[in-house]
Amino acid sequence: MHRFPSRRDVAALAAGLALCGCAFAQAGDGAAFPTQPIRMVVGFPAGGPTDVSARLIADSLSRSLGQPVVVDNKPGANATLAAELVARAKPDGYTILMAATNHPINASLYKNLKFDSDKSVSAITAVAVAPTVLVVNPKFPARTYAEFIALMKANPGKYSYASAGSGGTPHLSAEMFKSLTGTSIVHIPYRGAAPAVTDLIGGQVDMSFATLGSVLPQLRAGQLRAIAVAALQRSRLLPDVPTFEESGLKNFRLDSWYGLLAPAGTPKPVIDRLYAETLKAVSSSDYQSRLNAAGLEPVTDSNPAAFGEQLRQEIATYGALVRANHVSID
């Protein structure tokens, strides 16, 4: 026989619904986040500067958030596979991306991306930056920029450069250099910075327009030699290496940044919590010393709004650069 609910039943149901509502509210509440491990996806193999940045931040966040932050390397297609994975993930803050400068570059290089490099993600913050440095094998015949450019002019197409993958900043830097100087150098793309550096040391390729973070240990060990830095001023990590500007090549600069992105639609309190804890990490002297040891400089002035605007501006800027230099995926 059907029984209509009593006042006690209705009250119990109302209380239960109230509890559910509280639970749903807490799911998007930065104060309650996180309640489970966080996956930090990296689009490159272990060992490169993107991976190094990710592991330093993940270690700090694991301690400050009270939950494991697990780095998950998903290399391939110039990090677009990793970006797509995060863009399609549930927007709850438990899957985030350690992105690099190649992310806004990819928006123009790939015509059929399954995500929007701007609208499919939510910016959290940049965490590190590194200049581009031209490095060569120690046996390379040129030691100064003047000797280098003379050698390139006299031998078009003879020498090769390694990159961490088609479309990344080392690739775009080299193509920009070729355009500015009228030189011809053969591109040899690799699946990440670490294997590119290994072959450069071994002499399989002649040079790389590398991010400083990927080659500083090898430079200090004498396994590679730096010709010039593509920055406005000398790097304090390489004080004896001149800039391209002072060596005679004007307007050649291309930095590499590393920063955190989340799926679009991630609740603002969650984004703000991740930003606040990441800012604590990058502001610490321990993080900064470990970052400098890896050839990277900390970024401490990048909030979600500023980082999001930077991303949008760079998508436009690099799009123009890609088109002007006719850069394409090999």
Condensed to tens digits (0 to 9), the pLDDT of residues 91-143 reads: 999 999 999 998 999 999 888 899 999 999 999 999 998 889 999 999 999 99
How many Å apart are CA 75 and CA 46, to the nearest integer? 9
- Output the CA torsion 31→35→36→41 (10° steps): -10
Instruction: Determine contact, residues 96/124, Cβ cutoff 8 Å.
Output: yes
Does position 313 have pLDDT exceeding 60, yes or no? yes
Q: Give the residue among 48, 64, 11, 109 at the shortest CA–CA distance from 256.
A: 48
Instruction: Determine contact, residues 71/51, Cβ cutoff 8 Å.
Output: yes
Give the whole-number percent of the chain exceeding pLDDT 90: 66
How many Å apart are CA 327 and CA 237, to the nearest integer? 30
Does position 35 have pLDDT exceeding 80, yes or no? yes
In this predicted model, what pLDDT tens digit does every residue of 181-236 receive, in sequence order? 999 999 999 988 889 999 999 999 999 999 898 899 899 999 999 999 998 888 88
- Tell me how far CA of residue 187 lies from CA of 15, 47, 207, 253, 330, in angstroms: 66, 22, 10, 19, 9
Instruction: Determine contact, residues 137/206, Cβ cutoff 8 Å.
Output: yes
Query: Which CATH fold topology does 38-129+256-324 show?
Result: D-Maltodextrin-Binding Protein; domain 2 (3.40.190)
The pLDDT value recorded for residue 1 is 43
How many Å apart are CA 120 and CA 117, to the nearest integer? 6
Q: What is the pTM of this model?
A: 0.77
Q: Is 74 exposed, middle or buried (0-12, 13-18, 19+ CB in 10 A)?
A: middle
How many Å apart are CA 150 and CA 26, to the nearest integer? 64
- Residues spanned by CATH 3.40.190.150 within the chain? 38-129+256-324
243 DSSP assignment: B
Question: 10 Å Cβ neighbour count for 328?
Answer: 10
- Residues spanned by CATH 3.40.190.10 within the chain? 132-247
CATH class of the domain defined by 132-247: alpha beta
The pLDDT value recorded for residue 231 is 86
Q: Are strands 297-298 and 121-130 parallel, antiparallel or unpaired?
A: antiparallel
Q: Give the residue among 269, 169, 161 at the shortest CA–CA distance from 213.
A: 169
Residue with tokens 């993080």: 287
Most confident of 21-30, 74-83, 143-152: 143-152
How is residue 203 written in tokens?
């002499």
Q: Helix or strand or coil: residue 112?
A: coil
How is residue 304 written in tokens?
């979600």
120 DSSP assignment: T
List CB contacts of 266: < 8 A, sequence separation 6 or more.
Answer: 91, 92, 93, 122
The pLDDT value recorded for residue 76 is 87
